[in-house]
Structure 1
Amino acid sequence: MARLSQLTELKGVGPKLADQLEKLQIRNLADLFFHLPFRYEDRSRITAIGSVQPMRPAVIQGEVRGASVLFGKRRSLLVKVQDHTGTASLRFYHFNAAQKNQFRTGALVRCYGEPRRGASGLEFYHPEYQLVENGLDAQLEPCLTPVYPATDGISQQRLRLLHEQALEFLHKDQVDLIDLLPTSWLQQWRLPTLKDALLFLHNPPSDTNLQLLESSQHPAQKRLILEELLAHQLSLHKLRAQVQADAAPAIVASKQLQQALLAQLPFKPTNAQQRVTAEIEQDLQQPYPMLRLVQGDVGSGKTLVAALAACDVLEAGYQVALMAPTEILAEQHLNNLSGWFNPLGISTGWLAGKVKGKAREKALEDIHSGEAQLVVGTHALFQDDVRFSRLGLIIIDEQHRFGVHQRLSLREKGEQQGLQPHQLIMTATPIPRTLAMSAYADLDTSVIDELPPGRSPITTVAISDQRRGEVIERVNSACAPVEQGGEGAQAYWVCTLIEESEALQCQAAENTAQELREALPHLSIGLVHGRMKAAEKADVMAQFKAHELDLLVATTVIEVGVDVPNSSLMIIENPERLGLAQLHQLRGRVGRGAAKSHCVLLYKSPLSFTSKQRLQVMRDSQDGFYIAEQDLAIRGPGELLGTRQTGLQMLRVADLQRDGELLPQVREMAEQIWHQHPQAIEPLILRWLGDAERFASV
């Protein structure tokens, strides 16, 4: 069998066209086969002009009844075409004299386009057309016409001709395209072979159900969707197998440190916290690295679960590192953990970008010697000069905020005497089930699905910024001291991103703080934004926590981790600029105490349809998982996944939202391939991910 893989072996493909095709990720014949149409046009039948519907593409054929150049706002050529059922117009804004002369009265013309209502009735704007010479009936298309993803400089016609040539090689079995799915599966699920599926999708017969194709429900599409999802699943299986091929310290502890920690707390862990802690302990006892993702909604108590996991590892004589994406969140973890562990004789270390000079040298020395048993930090923990003594557990908070290579580099720092550290990953951003099953298939997942008792529900309202004065008055009544008729509570006023510019965002926050100080002179008002030094931010947050400030004006830097139980009112300006997950995170800064809490979404009119959807979801629910599912429906998976899962953003035919119901089947398929057909694993991953595998495998 000949293996023809170079595009330049196709007629008409030289170096220049090959470079242009590279922009479409088409580098060889196989890429061309898998460069599939995103829609189809039906040019296989002529529609009577009288039956043409506006905005529904159609082929029409009729006699030219006149062609004239019109001079309005723009010069245009208008051609009247008539058949026995009616009349339509063809309108061209770009034309020349030779083109006008083609449309002589009585000539027979066939055209394809999307008719719209215009000044002269139904009009086809710049349709594709051909003159039917001497009354001979020109050949209609035998198949539905494919429309391919294109780029500048490559027309649909050129792409169709290239595909025709490539498919000829496939048709004649002159290319080496192996069917990697077991034949028994194809029979069981009534799916076509890979060759038949590709030949069909590039040239569906004219009688194919177009609706089935448009909804990606045709068996030929299902065949490719299943295979692509399977390739992604296998790449994550491979990652998991690579990590778990390493050895890790098997942690079996006496639980004395855990019991001492729990004894000093003024509350008991919830049932959900106890269940997740038990799952983590089971993982830590294995002689290979734990890979566990803990999901918990805002305020569900993930920090305590992380601390209880740390107890066992510390008791066994290993170090624990906890890493958070921002200094505010990292410092909050440091305060909580040192408050719990220092009285138990466990020393905590701290490393962040602001730790400089002698303090940094001392921190590095303590980490290297093992003097710092529990190390809390930010991205600074990744730096080359950070060396651990015996790192047994890495805890990563809000891991989607980190680049994939960063999580790996921290893991490599923990390698000692052939042992790798365990990994515990936490997120307060609930991940929809369909994404968790695909994007995080390399991780075991635990969910803390219960909030601690005493948390108050949050009432959420959306108010136009035209009623800004009323909102400021509401802040006044919430924050004024009880003796002055207020509620004695604290509030946040969040200013959201403006035009993706941090400088403008900080300016907006400063202006808002000044406006509120003038409107509410008797309240103590603080300001936190991204351009302040870390020490300044920490100082303002400490003042707010100590109730030295009544109102905190902030940018979205307070999105995660800030815990002030007395704050019961949250104002979010321009919430339409944020995604649902971020809005949910911000809202979670209130409702952390017993007082009734409120969130005001202060939007700017008019709202887009998507923004109205988002705000409605926020009003309807406080369930992070429901909100995440809605976010997936509104935004799609690409934006939700962040930097980690770049490979999944490159899905060619599958759609995680549309095809989510297939994922349980895909997981079973992956298990079977892994154990029964291991020779197919690498070819499947290479076919669908290629270079992208490196994104999916870290």
Structure 2
Amino acid sequence: MTDNAPGSSEHPSLPTPSLDTIPVERLNRVGPRVAERLGKLGVRTVQDLLFHLPNRYQDRTRLATIAELRVGDEVLVEGEIREVELSGGRRRSFKVWLSDGGFGGLMLRFFHYSRQQIDALKPGVRLRCYGEVRQGPSALEMVHPEYRIQSEEPVAIEERLTPLYPSTEGLQQSSWRGLTDQALALLSRQAPRECLPDEVLRPLGLPSLVEALAYLHRPPLDADPLDLIERRHPAFHRLAFEELVAHQVSLRRLRAAQRAIAAPVLAGDGTLRKRLLDALPFRMTAAQERVVAEIAADLEGERPMQRLLQGDVGAGKTLVAALAALQAIESGAQVALMAPTELLSEQHRRGFAGWLAPLDIEPVWLVGRHKGRERVGLLESIASGRARMVMGTHALFQDDVVFSELGLVIIDEQHRFGVHQRMRLRAKGGGDGGAPHQLIMTATPIPRSLAMTVYADLDLSVIDALPPGRTRIVTVAVPDSRREEVIARVEQACAQGRQAYWVCTLIEESEALECQAAEETARQLAESLPGIRIGLVHGRIKGPERESVMAAFAAGDLDLLVATTVVEVGVDVPNASLMIIENPERLGLAQLHQLRGRVGRGSVQSHCVLLFHPPLSIAARERLGIIRAAESGFEIAERDLAMRGAGEVLGTRQTGTVQFRVADPLRDQHLVAAAQQAADLILVRYPDRIEPLIQRWLGSRELYGSV
């Protein structure tokens, strides 16, 4: 640990190093253990520390009286200890009664305390404390407030809002404030490099980088707390804009690199596609035809297609993907379709087999369960090129999987894959240093504002119309106290020759408990509905058995399918017209919409029953209200983005997915167009600013876009 901060008078003749090269170990009170904890949060340099912004602020600039306290307030109060008590019982606690001489009193309650605290907090001692006001059994109270014993000399009240930083175990807020004090002192002497040109910043009227950082770390007394909490202040806009520019520069550079790579020209002669279309019992929608033409033109080019295919539930994305696959196969190339789960890959195999078998094309299926001789035979078929269409899960990018001439990669539910998985599959094709074409599909519509921001390296195709004849799905929410009525409704639907789903949800992190819930539900429904043929599907049922149940349901040999959320995507049974979702309050909007989309695929009026367990939280009530009122997946995606933010909608828990530190594509969408223009300008006129900009905001994470 060093006693002198960098840039101090110890070496006055040496130039101050750049803030992005000063390790945090050079700051006071940062030894190896603290440096390791900071490193967990990506804070390794003084510049990293400055860009690690508070996520909220406390107002300790005024003292509140005890008489004016309200439940839920976070306030600073001062008073004298009147009484203390050590209470036993189920949970021992140390209670301190505080009075400021006015009406009423305040209890301070400590469940964790030391002998030193008990000795120090005696009647007559004056305290200043900060915390959240709660309603206790007999009076207002604060649980584990921050406090300071007041001496005879009055301690000055804070003159600025107090920042609270995202932290990790072992780093207290006082430590963060001490470290950022040192970083801000260095900032006042050595500003970080300005990565955005004046001609970009001037028209926007945004503060300088130094002004923005200083303001956000130490807001002045007159700062509007709501502007800071909701990140509407121009200081936040300044950093959000720079982060958006960094992402756009990175994605545009990535796109340019992709366009410099060769790809096989897959024009095809149209024979297989014509045979498939002639055999369909329906016509494609105009939206499907438009998207098919966009993809066909890309496949005919000499550069790798990078196209994101979006469409609402039931819009017909799979047929579009099948036609793209046939164009590649017509051209002599192989096609790989990768899905995130074995169940979804099974469903794709069944769907494609129905279309491709009459064309004498047999899809090869490769998943983790294939072992021994069976796996060796499949690998040989792929390596020799006999397998024209290969489908599977992450098993497709294992080292022993070698393609003869992979020309097209189709990735379904792409946000569930990490970047390295996608890159490894891409590296298996193209030949002669080239790359295969890629079609990336998502069954979760992404709001356009978000797509413009995070998928700027991809061309976007949207199927924005549903096939004709689809009826609106009537969605209702009922409490689980009416479960018997819902069971009767299932019996009625099945008696009329229709089929139904009953989806059990539990805790996302516990697949085992969710499967147990589904098994118990299936048993109870079998007792209540003795004449109904019931099947069960969940993630722990072995693949062949699960596939057999799904096939029986699709063939109409089962009336009711009890399942976990494994049926969220890919299941298409037109005769199913009733969906029951238990505990829908535990699911997000996108997942609810996907599950609901398993019905409504025929011409009969379909219903979705949300069987919730009261009482509902405010957020859950809002989600269920939205899913009942909204039909369009794109409208739901916009509402989902507004409720949960970009990180959750994109699934940032997956390795390599884009994550924003300050910017929010919904809140800051007014900055996106300017960020795109700035990125174009920097790439052409200021190439020396590209690396510092990307390093500041993305670092090694720039790889997320390398699909």
> Would you call these one fold, judging by a TM-score over 0.5?
yes
Q: Does 1:524 align with 2:533?
A: yes
Residues of 2 paired with 1:119 and 1:520: CA distance?
Answer: 48
* Aligned-pair CA distance for 1:131: 3.4
**CA gap 1:539/1:44 in 2 versus in 1, 3 angstroms:** closer
Q: Does 1:76 align with 2:95?
A: yes
Choose which of 222, 226, 242 in structure 1 pairs with 2:241: 226
Q: Which residue of 2 aligns with 1:656?
A: 665
SS of the residue aligned with 1:286?
coil
The farther-off stretch of 316-325 and 442-451 is: 316-325
Choose which of 435, 451, 456 in structure 2 pairs with 1:436: 451
Choose which of 596, 611, 614 in structure 2 pairs with 1:602: 611
* Aligned-pair CA distance for 1:111: 5.9
* Aligned-pair CA distance for 1:680: 1.5
Q: Which residue of 1 aligns with 2:167?
A: 150
Residues of 1 paired with 2:277 and 2:475: CA distance?
Answer: 35
Q: Does 1:409 align with 2:424?
A: yes
Q: Does 1:286 align with 2:298?
A: no
Choose which of 400, 404, 414 in structure 1 pairs with 2:415: 400
Choose which of 458, 471, 474 in structure 2 pairs with 1:456: 471
**CA gap 1:319/1:207 in 2 versus in 1, 3 angstroms:** same
* Aligned-pair CA distance for 1:20: 3.3
Q: Does 1:165 align with 2:182?
A: yes
- Asked if 1 retains the 8 angstrom alpha-carbon contact of 2:67 and 2:104, the reply is yes
Residues of 1 paired with 2:579 and 2:705: CA distance?
Answer: 38
Residues of 1 paired with 2:86 and 2:380: CA distance?
Answer: 82
Q: Does 1:352 align with 2:352?
A: no
Kindly provide the amino acid, as one letter, of the partner of residue 193 in structure 1.
S
Q: Which residue of 2 aligns with 1:26?
A: 43
**CA gap 1:167/1:278 in 2 versus in 1, 3 angstroms:** same
Q: Which residue of 2 aligns with 1:550?
A: 559
Choose which of 572, 583, 586 in structure 1 pairs with 2:595: 586
SS of the residue aligned with 2:578?
strand
The farther-off stretch of 616-625 and 420-429 is: 616-625
**CA gap 1:675/1:461 in 2 versus in 1, 3 angstroms:** same
- Asked if 2 retains the 8 angstrom alpha-carbon contact of 1:57 and 1:115, the reply is yes
Deviations 1:500-549 (A, max 9, x none): 33333333322222222222222222222222221112222222222122
Structure 1: stretches of 5+ with no match in the other structure: 481-486
Deviations 1:243-286 (A, max 9, x none): 32211123334434332322222211100001111111222222
Residues of 2 paired with 1:370 and 1:520: CA distance?
Answer: 50
SS of the residue aligned with 1:330?
helix
Of all paired residues, the percent bearing the same amino acid is 54
Q: Does 1:320 align with 2:320?
A: no
Kindly provide the amino acid, as one letter, of the partner of residue 599 in structure 1.
C
SS of the residue aligned with 1:416?
coil
- Asked if 2 retains the 8 angstrom alpha-carbon contact of 1:496 and 1:505, the reply is yes
Structure 2: stretches of 5+ with no match in the other structure: 1-14
Choose which of 668, 674, 681 in structure 1 pairs with 2:677: 668
Kindly provide the amino acid, as one letter, of the partner of residue 81 in structure 1.
D
Deviations 1:408-465 (A, max 9, x none): 1111111312221100011211112233223322221111111111222211122222
Q: Does 1:241 align with 2:260?
A: no
CA RMSD of the aligned region, Å?
3.0
* Aligned-pair CA distance for 1:338: 3.4
Q: Which residue of 2 aligns with 1:536?
A: 545
- Asked if 2 retains the 8 angstrom alpha-carbon contact of 1:581 and 1:631, the reply is yes
SS of the residue aligned with 2:183?
helix
**CA gap 1:56/1:279 in 2 versus in 1, 3 angstroms:** same
Residues of 1 paired with 2:376 and 2:525: CA distance?
Answer: 43
Q: Which residue of 2 aligns with 1:7?
A: 24
- Asked if 2 retains the 8 angstrom alpha-carbon contact of 1:404 and 1:644, the reply is no
Residues of 1 paired with 2:123 and 2:347: CA distance?
Answer: 78
Q: Which residue of 2 aligns with 1:16?
A: 33
**CA gap 1:78/1:48 in 2 versus in 1, 3 angstroms:** closer
* Aligned-pair CA distance for 1:326: 3.3
SS of the residue aligned with 2:215?
helix
Residue correspondences, number: 680
**CA gap 1:17/1:102 in 2 versus in 1, 3 angstroms:** farther
- Asked if 1 retains the 8 angstrom alpha-carbon contact of 2:261 and 2:434, the reply is yes
Q: Which residue of 1 aligns with 2:52?
A: 35
**CA gap 1:687/1:518 in 2 versus in 1, 3 angstroms:** same
**CA gap 1:688/1:276 in 2 versus in 1, 3 angstroms:** same
Kindly provide the amino acid, as one letter, of the partner of residue 263 in structure 1.
D
Kindly provide the amino acid, as one letter, of the partner of residue 251 in structure 2.
L
- Asked if 1 retains the 8 angstrom alpha-carbon contact of 2:61 and 2:161, the reply is yes
**CA gap 1:347/1:170 in 2 versus in 1, 3 angstroms:** same
Residues of 2 paired with 1:217 and 1:582: CA distance?
Answer: 30
The farther-off stretch of 494-503 and 49-58 is: 49-58
Kindly provide the amino acid, as one letter, of the partner of residue 16 in structure 2.
A
Residues of 1 paired with 2:167 and 2:507: CA distance?
Answer: 33
SS of the residue aligned with 1:463?
strand
Kindly provide the amino acid, as one letter, of the partner of residue 613 in structure 1.
E
Residues of 1 paired with 2:351 and 2:108: CA distance?
Answer: 71
Residues of 1 paired with 2:138 and 2:604: CA distance?
Answer: 66
SS of the residue aligned with 1:322?
strand
Deviations 1:324-367 (A, max 9, x none): 23344333333333333343344543333444554433332222
TM-score (normalised: structure 2): 0.88
* Aligned-pair CA distance for 1:60: 6.0
Residues of 2 paired with 1:685 and 1:602: CA distance?
Answer: 47
